[in-house]
Structure 1
C-alpha cells in the first residue's frame, strides 16, 4: 500500500456544526440570555415600527412570549427603551450608509440595525464584532433572504465611526476590520 497519500485523504470526515438550523441560524437551545434579549427586543421593535402600538402594551405582550424568562431582561429593556427613545438619532446614523431610502428598508432589518447601532453607542461591554455578528444572526433568522448581508454592510460601515478606538485596536493586532476606517 502507498504511504504517500495526500494530506486531504488523511483528514477526518467533515463534521456538521451543532446548534444550527438548516438556514445557519443558531438553535434556541444554544442561545445565550443576551442573544434571547436581542430577539425579544427585535420582536418588540418590529411591533413598534409596524403597528406604532403603545410601548407599554408592546412590552407587556413581549414579556408574555414563550421563553422570555430565559432572556437577559435588563439588556432587553435597555434595547427596547433605548432604541425607541433615540430612534431619530439611530436613523440619522444609518441613513448615510444606505443605498436606498429608509422607507424601502424592511422593518426587520431596520430594527436589527437599530439594535446594532444602539449597542455600538451604549453597550461598551459588547465588543463591536459581537454586536455585528449578533445582528447578522438576527437578520438571518427573522429577515429576508439576503438581509443579513445588508445589515453587515451597514453596521460594518458604522463601526469605525462609532467604535473607532476598538476597531483601530483590532487593526493594530492584525485583525481585518469589517469595513475601511472612515472619517471617524
Structure 2
C-alpha cells in the first residue's frame, strides 16, 4: 500500500465523517455517495471505508478517550476538529499497527487542509498528550 493512497483515504474519510456528523445520514450512504461523486482514483478505498464506518460505529468509545484530553468541553470543539480527532483516535485505538507519529502527522496535515487556521496546534496538542501517556504506560 502506498502512503499516498492512505493519505487520500484519510482526506476523504475526514470529509465523510464531517458530513455524517452534520447530517446523521447512514455512513454507508455517505461512503457510497463519495465513491460516486468524488474522483477517488489512487485512494485506498478499503481503508477509506474502514475509517469512515469505524468512526461511526465507535464514536462513543472514541469520544470517551478524547474528552479527558481536551481543555474545553467536547461539545464546544469545532465539527471539523472533531472529525479529525475521531479519525486519529480510531487509528490510535483500533489500528495499533500504524505508528503513532504517522497518525499525528497525518492529523496535523488534515487540520492544515480542512480546519481553522490554528486548529493544527490544538489537534497536535491533544494527540501528543495521548501518545505521551501511552508511551509511559
Please report the TM-score for the alignment, with normalisation by the length of structure 2.
Answer: 0.92
Matched pairs, number? 135
CA RMSD of superposed structures (Å): 1.4
Distance in 1 between the 2:28 and 2:54 partners? 14
Distance in 1 between the 2:37 and 2:79 partners? 20
How far did 1:101 drift? 1.1
**8 Å contact 2:28–2:53 — kept in the other structure?**
no
**8 Å contact 2:17–2:52 — kept in the other structure?**
yes
Is 2:2 the counterpart of 1:47? Answer: no
Query: Helix, strand or coil: the match of 1:69?
Result: coil
1:74 alignment partner, one of 27, 36, 46: 46
Distance in 1 between the 2:37 and 2:6 partners? 16
Name stretches of at least 5 consecutive residues in structure 1 with no aligned partner: 1-30, 168-180
2:87 alignment partner, one of 112, 115, 126: 115
1:43-94 per-residue CA deviation (whole Å, 9 max, x = no partner) reads 1100111111122221111112333132111111111111111100111111
Q: Looking at secondary structure, tell me which structure has more helix per residue.
A: 2
Distance in 1 between the 2:97 and 2:69 partners? 25
Residue aligning to 2:128: 156
How far did 1:36 drift? 0.2
Please report the TM-score for the alignment, with normalisation by the length of structure 1.
Answer: 0.69
Query: Helix, strand or coil: the match of 1:70?
Result: coil
Is 2:101 the counterpart of 1:129? Answer: yes
Larger Rg: 1
